[in-house]
Amino acid sequence: MQNNSRYSVVIFAHNLSGIIYSCIKSVLNNSSDASLSLYILANGCTDSTEDIVRSLQKEHPNIHLVSIPLADKANAWNYYVHKLAPDAALHFFIDGDVIVEPNALSAIATTMDMNSEIIAVGGVPVVGRDQLDIIERMISLGRVSGGLYALRDSFLRLLHQNDVKIPIGFIGEDFLVSALVKDMMNFQGIYIPSPLLQIERQAGFSFRQLSPMRMGDYQSYFCRLVRYRIRDYQLSMLMKHVMADSTHSMPVTVEQMYKQTPLLPRYYWRGKTTIIDWVAVFNIRKRAKEHPKNNINN
């Protein structure tokens, strides 16, 4: 990356004391301190994540620790876009539990520089049993991964001007960001590629893979599948909500969205995935019941 360029890097971190140091170091190794600013959005951390970031700040003054009380990635994303984002050519969004491969940020920046029409560029996983299938789906569906992607500054300014915010509690901001890039607030073509969004195969990121040898990973895997199912339900509800609203506005929170949904997901037999679906449905219905409509804070 050019040292005279200005890039802003956002790293989302919630209780990642075991990996956040390596994540930040992998980003720093992609460029010199002078070419980018790092914002570590520590949301709802109760471990030593923030202490680790503070120790790195002593060596790298371009690292900025941002403590956010609420443990929610969507809320942290909103905070950066609407209150924190500096003037920068590009804004990189990175999950704090991944390792950015060498030259990944440069590859994304180069792709952006070569085509001014492109608004978003996503990196790709370099590990995983179904890694190649995931990459092909990202390309065929026109969808970035939350692990690593970049947005143009002009697009962030457009989001800010139109007060576009991801509902707090929404799972899978990468799906929603992909939709917004391709067709602001109309969600048309969410499942098809667009020249506005590109996937860069040379921009890789890795993460710790779950192992059958670790007992704790079984629970992690189950929880991940439940989150994916909740994400699917939330995306479906949000699309219906936006299309039904003449202003195409999004609800402030997922609880608000649940309360405004005429028919919440129900319990159905779905074969081997039934238990996963039922836990997801239970979670959605429980949150909707616990947050009456007149108690939602805007």
pLDDT digits over 23-74, tens only?
A: 999 999 987 666 889 999 999 999 999 999 999 999 999 999 999 999 999 9
**252 lies in some domain:** yes
Q: What is the pLDDT of residue 291?
A: 66
Average pLDDT over all residues of the chain: 90
pTM reported for the whole predicted model: 0.91
Q: Is residue 237 part of a domain?
A: yes
Confidence bin at 218 (pLDDT 50/70/90): confident
25/108 same-domain check: yes
**155, 184, 207 — which closes off a domain?**
207
The per-residue pLDDT for 31 is 78
pLDDT class for 5, splitting at 50, 70, 90? very low
Distance CA 167, CA 242 (A): 12
Quick one: pLDDT at residue 294?
A: 37
Q: Are residues 147 and 269 in the same domain?
A: no
pLDDT, one tens digit per residue, over 271-295 is 999 999 999 999 999 999 876 543 3
Q: Please check whether residues 101 and 203 belong to one and the same domain.
A: yes
Domain total in the chain: 2
| Per-residue pLDDT reduced to its tens digit, 236-261 | 999 888 888 766 689 999 999 999 89
Same domain, 166 and 219: no
CATH number at residue 126: 3.90.550.10
Please indicate, yes or no, if residue 2 is contained in any of the structural domains: no
Q: Tell me which of 174-178, 189-193, 294-298 is least confident.
A: 294-298
Same domain, 141 and 185: yes
Q: What is the pLDDT of residue 83?
A: 96
d(CA 135, CA 123): 9
Q: Is the pLDDT of residue 176 over 90?
A: yes
**Hey, CA dihedral for 102, 73, 249, 257, is it positive or negative?**
positive
Do 20 and 156 fall into the same domain? yes
In a shared domain, residues 41 and 68: yes
Look at residues 154, 177, 207 and tell me which one is the last residue of a structural domain: 207
State the number of CA atoms in the 13 A half-sphere of 219 facing the CB.
2
Q: What is the pLDDT of residues 117-139, one digit of tens each?
A: 999 999 999 998 889 999 999 99
Same domain, 237 and 277: yes
DSSP string, 155-210: HHHHHHHTT--PPBT-S-HHHHHHHHHHSTTT-TTTTS-BTTEEEEEEEEEEEPPP
59 and 187, same domain (yes or no): yes
162 shares a domain with 66:
yes
Domain region containing 56: 7-207
Q: Last residue of a domain, which of 152, 180, 207?
A: 207
In a domain, 116, yes or no: yes
171 plus 252 within the same structural domain = no
Domain membership flag for residue 29: yes
25 shares a domain with 142: yes
Is residue 1 included in any domain, yes or no? no
Query: Can you tell me the distance from the alpha carbon of 51 to that of 83, in angstroms, rounded to the nearest whole number?
Result: 23
